[in-house]
Amino acid sequence: MGRFDDCKLQVLRISQRLSSEGFFGSKSGSAGNVSMLVAGENAFVVTPTRMRYDIMTVDDICVVDFELRRIEGERKPSIETPMHLAAYKSRADVSAVIHSHQTYASVLGVLNMPIPPLFDEVTLAVGNIIDIVPYALSGTRELHDNVARKLANRCHCYIIQNHGALCVGANLDQTYTLVELLEKCAAIYCHALATGRPVTVLPENIVAQLHAAVIARQDREIARKNSAAAESEKDAREPEPGR
């Protein structure tokens, strides 16, 4: 197997699952994109642009560095690759990014409405708000910058105005679950708003406690990654036996 094959297989698996379950908006289209950080390197694996997921293979997945130079793959990386890079540069805890076009989150995107903290188990997973990233054209520096600014709130799920959604996590399986939680929350919020009755939210003191737990979990992940990087650097400096 090649150096990046395991990461590429993970990205392909999650991408095809998201597509088949409709999180990319259409099951036969090429919308949405997925990426995964390469451990210990300033590089990440990302889906290609304008290619259907049902026919995508591991060889179609791209690898780029933090300067957006292609390391591996014949196809052009997703047009949203700079947005993924913004996530990795902005948040040391993030190792996976999913940009989806899921239905209910997109409804709130065109209404420009963030989702307040509605459930304690969801808030413990995603943070104290599912906020709106202001609109900018796909693939632009403006969108890259808008995402970077919003990620500073240390949450895990975002709605991109008039566009879709963005979820970030410590690994792809966790981030897939965040996509599901976001859609659950968005659907419930849309149905609740449709009644015309007031929507209740969690008490502020509870939200603060839960968000503190989210940040503490992120800090542990950052410490783990730093420790792994230091260990890898130490191993690289040590001479091989017999030399």
Q: What are the tokens at 73?
A: 């793959």
pLDDT band at 231, cuts 50/70/90? confident
Q: Give the mean model confidence (pLDDT) for residues 136-140.
A: 94
Residues with Cβ within 8 Å of 123's Cβ and at least 6 positions away in sequence, in order, are: 117, 202, 207, 210, 211, 214
Residues 171-227: pLDDT tens digits?
999 999 999 999 999 999 999 999 999 999 999 999 999 999 999 999 999 999 999
- Average pLDDT over all residues of the chain: 95
The pLDDT of 109-116, averaged and rounded, is: 98
pTM for the full model?
0.95
The answer, yes or no, to whether residue 235 has pLDDT greater than 80, is no
Radius of gyration of the chain from its Cα atoms, rounded to whole angstroms: 19
Q: Which residue has the higher pLDDT, 1 or 58?
A: 58
Is the distance from CB of 232 to CB of 226 less than 8 angstroms? no
* pLDDT (average), residues 118-142: 97
Q: How far apart are CA 173 and CA 221, in angstroms?
A: 15
Tokens found for residue 29: 């289209």
Among 38, 29, 44, 36, smallest CA distance to 13 is for 36
DSSP class of 98: E
* Region 49-58 average pLDDT: 94
Q: Which domains does the chain have, with CATH numbers?
A: 5-234 (3.40.225.10)
Whole-number pLDDT of residue 2:
79
Q: Tell me how far apart the alpha carbons of residues 225 and 241 are, in angstroms, rounded to a whole number.
A: 27
- Helix spans in the chain (H): 5-20, 81-90, 103-111, 120-126, 141-151, 172-194, 204-237
Range 104-125 average pLDDT = 98
